[in-house]
Amino acid sequence: MDHTHHICKSEEDTKKVAELVAPQLKAGMVIFLKGELGAGKTTLVRYLLKSLGYRDKVKSPTYNLVETHQLKNLTVHHFDLYRFGCPEEWFSGGFDDYLITENTISIIEWPEKIKGVNIKPDIEINISTEQLDFRIMDICFKEEAGNAVI
């Protein structure tokens, strides 16, 4: 398991982290993205998508729960589960089906909202905002994700 620690003092730093992570992403991966409201989760996703070649606008899926972004040979599903009341909403919303489609990457914000649902992340990213003037991004690549080193 590889673990990296990044200090982001600006949006440009967040972009650089995304540019380091994006080349490691492969179809079939699930990414858990954790952090408080306003931590920069969607900003990180925006830069990940841009690093993968996506050129359209990237908005937060807070109200739609999932936004799907089509790239040339890859589909990225970006989930925001903040408004979930219980893990069963994952199944009743049919979101499990998104994970089994071909050539997809699924990025799940607020994965703690589906605790107990059997989803294993390949990458976990935790954004800490304890310091007011910068963010800390801890990135953990699981062994199953390959031996990626950032």
Q: What pLDDT does 150 receive? A: 35
Q: What is the dihedral of CA 86, 106, 60, 148, to 10 degrees?
A: 120
Q: Higher confidence at residue 145 or residue 120?
A: 120
Which CATH superfamily includes the segment(s) 2-141? P-loop containing nucleotide triphosphate hydrolases (3.40.50.300)
- Is the pLDDT reported for residue 145 higher than 70? no
What angle, rounded to 10 degrees, do the helices at 41-51 and 11-21 form?
A: 50
Q: What pLDDT does 2 receive? A: 85
Q: Higher confidence at residue 131 or residue 53?
A: 53
**pTM for this prediction:** 0.88
